[in-house]
Chain A
Amino acid sequence: MAETKEKSLSDEKPKPRVRPIVRLGIFLISHSFHVSVVCCTAGVLALFLLPVLAKNTYISENALMPGSASPMLSNQHVSDGNRLVKDLTNPNSKSSETGIESHKIIAQYMLDLGAEVSFHKFHPQMNQFHPLHFFSSPDSGKIQENYSCSSYGINTVGIIRAPRGDGKEAIVLVTPYNALKSGFGEALSLGIAYSVFSLLTQVTWLAKDIIWLVADSQYGEYAAVAAWLREYQTPKFSSLSAPNAEMCPDVNNLFELKGHSISGSKFSNSFRRAGTMAAALVLKVRDQNEQFEDTISIYAEASNGQMPNLDLINVVNYLAVHRQGLRVNVEKLWSLLNSSWLKSLGEIFESLAKVAKSLYPKWKFGIPATEYVEGTATLASSLYYQALGVPTGPHGAFRDYQVDAITLEISPKFSLDKVWRNDILLRGGRLIEGVIRSVNNLLEKFHQSFFLYLLTSPSKFVSVGVYMIAFALLIAPLPMVAASLYVDANSSSKRSKGDSSTPSAITDTDEHSIAIRSWSPTTSFMIWVLLSILSLLTLNSVLASPLACAKATQEKEWALVKSVTISSVFIGLGLMSVINFATAEIGALLMVPMCLLAQPLKLDVRAGTLRSFCRMICNLVLGHIAFPPAAFFLLKGMLDGFGNANVGDFWMWVESLWAWNSATYLFIGMVQLPCWVLCISILFHTC
């Protein structure tokens, strides 16, 4: 009986059983609308929850032991530093036009300490765009053709060898200094660095060499540091470049003078090196300050959203707060601090947390509303600067060589008396000493802590595992919606292809107009817009319309185009999230709603219901926001006020992205703009 029953059952189901995962996929695709609504809402909500989910930072690497050694920097070293500051700010030293005098003073001071000193002359390099050099170091072999003796910079480099070290590793301290128009702040930063340097020549505990780089910032701080690093990491063996620079009489003069005055000392004409760099600190002192207390700002973002290891920031933060009593700042979007909607959102989260806590006392995830607002402002700025892909300081040059580096900007409360100056020299110096001693304890590269994180305060962070959730939720519905659209369109008619000619067109024009440089930003921007529209229309008339004519106009063509758009957005965002997560996150916020909602306006007008009217409005608004220039203006207007917004600003912004080799530029050109054009073409589809 049983056998026959089984047999009959199997006869009834001739087709193979569908596997559960396939069934789940089919279920999701058939309910793609609900899924996408839920996922997108959850994604945006998760993004706003990030400040609540932020964890306290902790020092992950055992070897660092920050603050375990008491600082050795004494008043003696501070007075040494003070002496240098006085000498540099002395009007006599500024007599020379090229500022060589102050370089000589610095070199002499370094030599007096017994350090190895050398000058590094460099020519500021033109920025060149390498579309695919996201994380690789710049080329070494580039030798510039037009050296001119008038434009060169001189970096002064002092090296202390660790007395018992193996010379395989080094710690770099960078102080940007413009000899021609140096403010008091720059001189003070040199003073701090010198006092630390003079201490380090005496100590016995160095395991890594110390390099002090006084970067000539007359062509920009980044350029000077980048030039020195290029020379350090990729020695030039060609004989072409060396004589080129030597030909300039001024430089030779400088070297000769040095060589004669202090023969037999540790001065050398050749480029000096130490070991591989363990970490680098860029030290700056701000000239003016409105703060009420001494603060120190940390800048960490390098190119394409790369961050230094979190441990380095932790060490600086720990030492500054708990040892030197300095307030630590990271960049914030200040305008967000006063926004009332954020405050009320924070209050909602706070009250929710209270309710949760009353239900179950172990749930403690709430943070006060003010803290939430600050956290969000910091997170937004962290996200923005990472998305920009432009380094926020000279430390970015180090990251290109996988060296962990940050910029510390000390902003003292401003007063000019000597006691204050000594105080800031002492505390700043002790902070730098502490960080160097801590890094000196390191046995390996920084590797224990996070590299992928967003800061919500100097002592709080969101790690990659948490912030990926928001992004994943945002883009999760894309493939489902694309699949469901494709299935729907195919079921009605089985012949159609998406209009894929437009993306290439838009990038073409994009690249093209970059070459136009002689006009003002506003004109360039206008020309670009005109050219783009022109080429798009031409291409559309040449390629798209004949095809459309050839086929019978089909009702569902727009659905196929939308499906293709959504797929390409998904692929583009997925790829971008690997290269620069923050860009992908912001791009997803702008594009995902637009792509999901896009529907021909004609259909909505025809339907005439309230729902379709709402959708039409949404489509129009999103269509405007997702256009990169519009989004830029909107953001800028929200942050700085709409009065200053200028059409040319966007052009400048894009140009800076181009100049800094940012992957965001590629993203805008190759993902965002084409997809926006496709969405617009869906909106205005004639069906």
Chain B
Amino acid sequence: METFINPKSLFHLLLLPCLLLYSSIAYNSSPVEAAMHTNNWAVLVCTSRFWFNYRHMANTLSLYRTVKRLGIPDERIILMLADDMACNTRNKYPAQVFNNENHRLNLYGDNVEVDYRGYEVTVENFLRVLTGRHETAVPRSKRLLSDEGSHILLYMTGHGGDEFLKFQDSEELQSHDLADAVKQMKEKHRFKELLIMVDTCQAATLFNQLQSPGVLAIGSSMKGENSYSHHLDSDVGVSVVDRFTYYTLAFFERLNIYDNASLSSLFSSYNPSLLMSTAYYRKDLYKRRLEEVPVTNFFGSVMETIHTDAAYKALSRRNSGRFEDEMSLDQSVHHIERRMLIKVNDGYEIHDINPELLQGEEGASKCPWSTFRNKFQKAENVDSLVNYGLVAMIPLLVISTWLVQ
């Protein structure tokens, strides 16, 4: 046995636990948990074609208007409309779309940027938008360029059924597809929190397969229920809005960008007798208490502002890509936004962080032991504590066996 153990192998044996240690530290200090709410995105999808589905486009455009009004800029809204009702020849009011029979509000005014329209709205493109796997030629305006601090609102409307949503009268998005896409997004650190809002028949079934943490989902109806349209515009000759969306909009019309209405107040505002269906929300994947989350966290672009003495403290371009706890805490909202932009310019640099830390060059210089100690003392994470303990046991074991022999 002795012959087998030479200094080189010993070195290797010692190095292994060290590497493991580093990696676990790197994992725990990785930005996923530490990331702060940095920006807001909205993906608004109308999946159905044809004139008689006017209301789905009106739903989506109403939501578009609302989130824009509450502060999400156009470049962070991906708007997908499967058909063009405004220019449909059957439209009595050419180039206008209304969501109410009083015709007071034209939803299809001047500042509507439709990112995916007509036959571009496919399951494939939708999943590409979510997962960020685009062909190189796809312009930036059509991409969901979110980061691990993003709050994303995903709103979908169309015709659905048990665990599927119909796209374009020809294909379907299944609940598995959606769950898979969300999982990929999580893996790729494309969001911090995700709110999925779906207005279709049997919308709740679409959330059955979701597993990723940080996802909150609300649907207009339970399994076996239909979602109904709210009212018919006898002038245009079609139903113009769905009930769930109508009451969502009614809730938001009372709000402005400074209001503190919580998500729970939104969710409890749905009256089953008015909806003629039961709004269902799934929050088991979502950690925060709904009473404490303002709706503007998803439907607007309102973030926590942190006051700092020095506005431009040592924010180098190089560091900005690597998320440091202390630094992001110090930053003001402006900085966060700017940093986001810079990071976007950096492209996929984020994903290089962990290998770098693994090599132990930079990670060590950022004094991992102190972090380790902090973590240890706080004993926040039982799992990591156990991991550290096990890792610490290995060299002891090795040394003791060596000594015994």
Which A residues are closer than 8 A to B by beta carbons?
62-63, 65, 68-70, 162-166, 203-207, 437, 440-441, 443
Given contacts A65-B237, A65-B238, A69-B235, contact A205 B52 (CB under 8 A): no
Q: How far is the CB of B40 from chain A (nearest CB, A)?
A: 36
Q: Nearest 7 CB-CB pairs, A to B?
A: A69-B237, A70-B234, A207-B89, A164-B89, A205-B92, A165-B89, A207-B90
Give every chain B residue within 8 A of A437 (Cβ-Cβ). Answer: 237
* 17 CB < 8 A contacts A-B: A68-B232, A68-B237, A68-B239, A70-B234, A165-B89, A166-B89, A203-B92, A204-B92, A205-B90, A205-B91, A205-B92, A206-B89, A207-B89, A207-B90, A441-B237, A443-B50, A443-B51
Which B residues are closer than 8 A to A by beta carbons?
50-52, 87-94, 232, 234-239
Alpha-carbon distance between A62 and B237 when the two chains are bound, in angstroms: 13
A204's contact among B52, B94, B238, B239, by CB below 8 Å, is which? B94
Query: Would you call B236 and A69 a contact (CB within 8 A)?
Result: yes
Alpha-carbon distance between A166 and B50 when the two chains are bound, in angstroms: 16
Q: Which residue of B lies closest to A61 (CB)?
A: B52
Q: How far is the CB of A196 from chain B (nearest CB, A)?
A: 16
Give every chain B residue within 8 A of A166 (Cβ-Cβ). Answer: 89
Query: Would you call A63 and B52 a contact (CB within 8 A)?
Result: yes
Query: Would you call A62 and B92 a contact (CB within 8 A)?
Result: no
Query: Would you call B91 and A68 a contact (CB within 8 A)?
Result: no
Q: How far is the CB of B9 from chain A (nearest CB, A)?
A: 70
Not counting A62-B50, A68-B234, A204-B94, a sample of 12 additional A-B residue pairs whose C-beta atoms are within 8 angstroms of each other reads: A68-B232, A69-B236, A164-B89, A166-B89, A204-B93, A205-B91, A205-B92, A205-B237, A206-B89, A207-B89, A441-B51, A443-B50
Given contacts A164-B89, A205-B237, contact A63 B94 (CB under 8 A): no
Query: Would you call A63 and B50 a contact (CB within 8 A)?
Result: yes
Q: Which residue of B lies closest to A164 (CB)?
A: B89
Query: Would you call B235 and A70 a contact (CB within 8 A)?
Result: yes
Given contacts A63-B52, A164-B94, contact A205 B234 (CB under 8 A): no
Give every chain A residue within 8 A of B93 (Cβ-Cβ). Answer: 204
Alpha-carbon distance between A207 and B239 when the two chains are bound, in angstroms: 19
Alpha-carbon distance between A163 and B235 when the two chains are bound, in angstroms: 18
Give every chain A residue within 8 A of B239 (Cβ-Cβ). Answer: 68
Q: How far is the CB of A71 from chain B (nearest CB, A)?
A: 9
Q: Which residue of B lies closest to A69 (CB)?
A: B237
Q: Which of B50, B52, B89, B90 is the most central at the interface, judged by chain A CB atoms within 10 Å of its CB? A: B90
Given contacts A63-B51, A441-B51, contact A68 B238 (CB under 8 A): yes
Q: Which residue of B lies closest to A437 (CB)?
A: B237
Give every chain B residue within 8 A of A69 (Cβ-Cβ). Answer: 234-237
Q: How far is the CB of A210 from chain B (nearest CB, A)?
A: 13
Give every chain A residue within 8 A of B94 (Cβ-Cβ). Answer: 164, 204
Query: Would you call A62 and B52 a contact (CB within 8 A)?
Result: yes
Q: Which residue of B lies closest to A66 (CB)?
A: B237
Give every chain B residue within 8 A of A70 (Cβ-Cβ). Answer: 234-235
Give every chain A residue within 8 A of B89 (Cβ-Cβ). Answer: 162-166, 205-207
Query: Would you call B92 and A65 a contact (CB within 8 A)?
Result: no
Alpha-carbon distance between A46 and B235 when the two chains are bound, in angstroms: 47
Give every chain A residue within 8 A of B91 (Cβ-Cβ). Answer: 204-205
Alpha-carbon distance between A63 and B51 when the two chains are bound, in angstroms: 7
Query: Would you call B235 and A441 a contact (CB within 8 A)?
Result: no
Q: How far is the CB of B121 from chain A (nearest CB, A)?
A: 18
Q: How far is the CB of B160 from chain A (nearest CB, A)?
A: 15
Give every chain A residue within 8 A of B232 (Cβ-Cβ). Answer: 68
Alpha-carbon distance between A204 and B94 when the two chains are bound, in angstroms: 8
Alpha-carbon distance between A207 and B52 when the two chains are bound, in angstroms: 14
Q: Which of A163, A165, A441 is the most central at the interface, judged by chain B CB atoms within 10 Å of its CB? A: A441
Q: How far is the CB of B221 from chain A (nearest CB, A)?
A: 19
Alpha-carbon distance between A443 and B236 when the two chains are bound, in angstroms: 17
Alpha-carbon distance between A65 and B94 when the two chains are bound, in angstroms: 20
Q: How far is the CB of B379 from chain A (nearest CB, A)?
A: 60
Alpha-carbon distance between A164 and B91 when the two chains are bound, in angstroms: 10
Q: Which residue of A lies closest to B159 (CB)?
A: A62
Alpha-carbon distance between A165 and B234 when the two chains are bound, in angstroms: 21
Alpha-carbon distance between A62 and B52 when the two chains are bound, in angstroms: 7
B52's contact among A65, A163, A164, A165, by CB below 8 Å, is which? A65
Q: How far is the CB of A652 from chain B (nearest CB, A)?
A: 49
Give every chain A residue within 8 A of B235 (Cβ-Cβ). Answer: 69-70
Give every chain B residue within 8 A of A207 (Cβ-Cβ). Answer: 88-90
Alpha-carbon distance between A69 and B87 when the two chains are bound, in angstroms: 18
Q: Which residue of A lies closest to B91 (CB)?
A: A205
Give every chain A residue within 8 A of B234 (Cβ-Cβ). Answer: 68-70
Q: Which residue of A lies closest to B87 (CB)?
A: A164
Q: Which residue of B lies closest to A443 (CB)?
A: B50
Query: Would you call A440 and B90 a contact (CB within 8 A)?
Result: yes
Q: How far is the CB of B327 from chain A (nearest CB, A)?
A: 56
Q: How far is the CB of A331 from chain B (nearest CB, A)?
A: 32
Q: How far is the CB of A439 from chain B (nearest CB, A)?
A: 11
Give every chain A residue within 8 A of B90 (Cβ-Cβ). Answer: 205, 207, 440-441
Give every chain B residue within 8 A of A165 (Cβ-Cβ). Answer: 89
Q: How far is the CB of A237 from chain B (nearest CB, A)?
A: 32
Alpha-carbon distance between A63 and B238 when the two chains are bound, in angstroms: 10
Alpha-carbon distance between A165 and B91 when the two chains are bound, in angstroms: 11
Give every chain A residue within 8 A of B236 (Cβ-Cβ). Answer: 69
Q: How far is the CB of A65 from chain B (nearest CB, A)?
A: 6
Alpha-carbon distance between A204 and B93 when the two chains are bound, in angstroms: 7
Q: How far is the CB of B232 from chain A (nearest CB, A)?
A: 6
Q: How far is the CB of B227 from chain A (nearest CB, A)?
A: 15
Alpha-carbon distance between A602 and B90 when the two chains are bound, in angstroms: 75
Q: How far is the CB of B78 from chain A (nearest CB, A)?
A: 28
Q: How far is the CB of B88 from chain A (nearest CB, A)?
A: 8
Q: How far is the CB of B346 from chain A (nearest CB, A)?
A: 48
Q: Which residue of A lies closest to B51 (CB)?
A: A441
Give every chain A residue within 8 A of B50 (Cβ-Cβ). Answer: 62-63, 443
Give every chain B residue within 8 A of A440 (Cβ-Cβ). Answer: 90
Alpha-carbon distance between A443 and B238 when the two chains are bound, in angstroms: 15
Q: How far is the CB of B235 from chain A (nearest CB, A)?
A: 7
Give every chain B residue within 8 A of A204 (Cβ-Cβ). Answer: 91-94
Alpha-carbon distance between A648 and B51 when the two chains are bound, in angstroms: 56
Alpha-carbon distance between A529 and B89 when the two chains are bound, in angstroms: 63
Alpha-carbon distance between A300 and B240 when the two chains are bound, in angstroms: 34
Q: How far is the CB of B48 from chain A (nearest CB, A)?
A: 11
Q: Which of A205, A437, A441 is the most central at the interface, judged by chain B CB atoms within 10 Å of its CB? A: A205
Q: Which residue of B lies closest to A65 (CB)?
A: B52
Alpha-carbon distance between A63 and B52 when the two chains are bound, in angstroms: 6
Alpha-carbon distance between A532 and B289 when the two chains are bound, in angstroms: 96
Q: Which residue of A lies closest to B239 (CB)?
A: A68
Give every chain A residue within 8 A of B87 (Cβ-Cβ). Answer: 164
Give every chain B residue within 8 A of A63 (Cβ-Cβ). Answer: 50-52
Query: Would you call A441 and B92 a contact (CB within 8 A)?
Result: no
Q: Which residue of A lies closest to B92 (CB)?
A: A205
Alpha-carbon distance between A331 and B236 when the two chains are bound, in angstroms: 35
Q: Which residue of A lies closest to B232 (CB)?
A: A68
Alpha-carbon distance between A163 and B50 when the two chains are bound, in angstroms: 19
Q: How far is the CB of A323 from chain B (nearest CB, A)?
A: 11
Give every chain B residue within 8 A of A68 (Cβ-Cβ). Answer: 232, 234, 237-239
Q: How far is the CB of A543 from chain B (nearest CB, A)?
A: 64
Give every chain B residue within 8 A of A162 (Cβ-Cβ). Answer: 89
Alpha-carbon distance between A164 and B90 when the two chains are bound, in angstroms: 9
Give every chain B residue within 8 A of A203 (Cβ-Cβ). Answer: 92
Alpha-carbon distance between A500 and B239 when the two chains are bound, in angstroms: 66
Give every chain A residue within 8 A of B88 (Cβ-Cβ). Answer: 207
Q: How far is the CB of B47 from chain A (nearest CB, A)?
A: 16
Q: How far is the CB of A72 from chain B (nearest CB, A)?
A: 9
Give every chain B residue within 8 A of A163 (Cβ-Cβ). Answer: 89
Alpha-carbon distance between A354 and B238 when the two chains are bound, in angstroms: 42
Alpha-carbon distance between A441 and B88 when the two chains are bound, in angstroms: 10
Q: Which residue of B lies closest to A203 (CB)?
A: B92
Give every chain B residue within 8 A of A65 (Cβ-Cβ). Answer: 52, 237-238
Alpha-carbon distance between A562 and B63 when the two chains are bound, in angstroms: 77
Q: How far is the CB of A276 from chain B (nearest CB, A)?
A: 16
Q: How far is the CB of A353 from chain B (nearest CB, A)?
A: 31
Q: How far is the CB of A255 from chain B (nearest CB, A)?
A: 33
Alpha-carbon distance between A308 and B91 when the two chains are bound, in angstroms: 28
